[in-house]
A and B are shown apart, each in its own frame.
Chain A
């Protein structure tokens, strides 16, 4: 039975997104979104202002830019989920993270501001998926030229966050 308890099938998303979906552990999606919110925010709140502009190599995003990117991406993925869950089949455009990040000017902002924004966005994501029915989770549409289901988008939100949280630990030393 399709539900927030079951994982999306491979046919529900483009192969590109498998890298994120595979990072999501077994269990309830809504549970996980809440767990991530507290765990990741706990990690980020230990980062001071100076550390926030650290990048582990030239040309790589700073910690602040990673947080900003996580917020941007979660907004986009959740927006797609909202559209498809509401039965809107309008194809949705892709977004280019490499133009969004500099345009976001995240290094000009304080860590607390970026963390608060991410926290608000994740809370909004939890609210969205908390109220979707199993049937709505299986609805789909086209984004970035590929079919994708609402459920897959939920898993991509969780997996994308997990991907960057892992990088923050492994490469940024958080």
Chain B
């Protein structure tokens, strides 16, 4: 880590916006990331991938920015995926128990495997008929 330098690069592949973060994501520069992601959404991108392959550190403000960005992307009917986090960064999400708010994947690219945390699975017919509870949970 050194000096809090960060640069953000974004590119568009169809409806997918890929934002790469180089350096540290901290309070002083989180707005750069926010601007890049929201700009991608405003220009019609529906799937956002943030690539952390070149990111060494995320502080509490940076983590907060990611959570609120995930909310903004969801409100725009989009999806957000995080990719290429090193072990320390991934541990940060797990320790704070915020990992369930995000979809993680190993490679940056619109064709990469990965499940968006906010996209519910389609209900199957068996789901619709297997609700035995008589109380308020019957429609769970």
Contact = CB atoms under 8 A, between A and B. Distances in A.
Interface string B94-105: 011110110000
Interface in A114-128: 119-120, 123, 126-127
Interface residues of A, number: 20
Interface string B26-67: 000000000000000000000000000000000111011101
A88 interface: no
A113 interface: no
Interface string A1-44: 00010000000000000000000000010111111111100000
B96 A38 contact: yes
B65 A31 contact: yes
A44 B68 CA distance: 25
B97 A34 contact: no
B75 interface: yes
Given A4-B68, A28-B64, A130-B70, A34 B98 contact: yes
Nearest to A30: B68
Given A35-B60, A127-B101, A133-B75, A119 B68 contact: no
A4 B67 CA distance: 12
B19 to A, nearest CB: 18
Contacts of A38: 59-60, 63, 96
Nearest to A120: B97
Contacts of A30: 64, 67-68, 71
A33 B64 contact: yes
A37 B59 CA distance: 11
A127 B102 CA distance: 11
Nearest to A38: B60
Interface in B79-138: 95-98, 100-101
Interface in A34-68: 34-39
B67 A34 contact: yes
A130 B63 contact: no
Given A4-B68, A126-B67, A133-B75, A31 B61 contact: yes
B68 A123 contact: no
Contacts of A123: 96-98
Interface in A94-147: 119-120, 123, 126-127, 130-131, 133
Given A28-B64, A35-B64, A37-B96, 14 more contacts: A4-B71, A28-B68, A30-B64, A31-B61, A31-B68, A34-B63, A35-B60, A39-B60, A119-B97, A120-B97, A126-B98, A127-B101, A131-B71, A131-B74
11 contacts: A31-B64, A31-B65, A32-B64, A34-B64, A34-B98, A38-B59, A38-B96, A127-B100, A130-B70, A130-B101, A131-B71
